[in-house]
Amino acid sequence: MMTIIDRLKMILERVNLSPGNFAEQIGVAPATISHILSGRNKYPSAEVMLRLHEAYPEIDLNWLLTGEGMMKKDDPDSLFTGTLFGEPTLNAAKTSINAATSTEKPENRKEIQSDIPLNTDNTVVKQEIIYKEKPSRKIAEIRIFYDDGTYETFTPNK
């Protein structure tokens, strides 16, 4: 069965880009793609998959994530043709224009946990803790059992 890493390698072959150039094109750090392809990261993050899909909208997202269906949307006869393979897309054209005119390095973004929880319930939950004091306990007897079936009993002096 083809893994998501195999599908990414397949896309890299079709677009004829090195992993570093591919990472730059979709807007992620080259190390991110390297870690995915080497198996260090078993599954790409959702952000990587969405950026890949934004750069190549003709790739069927269901195929990319699950391997079901065809690589290219709406074309069952054309697994290896389309905008991935020579015909520029609007997004690809924007990327190349922006890359040619921009002097800034691409920003490497990381997923950051939000400090503000989403869909919070404003109900206040109060919990009361009751500490019950137990009466003091005293050792009444200690028994030591031996492997030969015998035992000794010790009782403290009262």
Task: Give me the CATH number covering residue 53.
Answer: 1.10.260.40
pLDDT band at residue 141 under the 50/70/90 scheme: very high
What pLDDT, on the 0 to 100 scale, is given for residue 131? 79
Q: Is residue 82 part of a domain?
A: yes
Q: Is residue 58 part of a domain?
A: yes
Structural domain that includes position 78: 4-101
Q: Is residue 97 part of a domain?
A: yes
Dump pLDDT digits (tens) for 11-30: 888 888 899 899 999 999 99
Is the separation of the CB atoms in 19 and 37 below 8 Å? yes
- pTM of the predicted structure, to 2 decimals: 0.47
Q: What tokens were used for 9?
A: 């390698």
Cα separation, 40 vs 130, whole angstroms? 49
**Section 103-118 average pLDDT:** 58
Please check the confidence at residue 56 and state whether its pLDDT lies above 60: yes
Number of domains in the chain: 1
